[in-house]
Amino acid sequence: MQTAFSDQLTPKVEMPSVAGQWQKGRLLGSGTFGCVYEATNRHTGALCAMKEVNIIPDDAKSAESLRQLEQEIKFLSQFKHENIVQYYGSDMVSFPL
């Protein structure tokens, strides 16, 4: 399972769905809990950074990734300022094994 901006991760905070709205582009970087890609809004052409995290059910590392992603989403979704990364939304996408 992969998640890019997952609104299913934080049920207490209502997040707008961005499914199909963004086209994933080139890889910008990777870290312990995922990869960051350039993304383009299919409707407006706006550019943003998209974090993608692979989740494996019943996996301790994936559980930690989800926990940290929940904290990141909760933190970033509270702020709207030109010097702070803007959080636009999240989606969870499942892929067949």
Binding-site sequence positions for ATP: 51
Binding-site sequence positions: 51
Q: Are 88 and 48 in contact (CB under 8 A)?
A: yes
Strand-strand pairing, 34-41 and 22-31: antiparallel
| Rounded Cα gap, residues 52 and 46, in angstroms | 18
| Rounded Cα gap, residues 6 and 74, in angstroms | 12
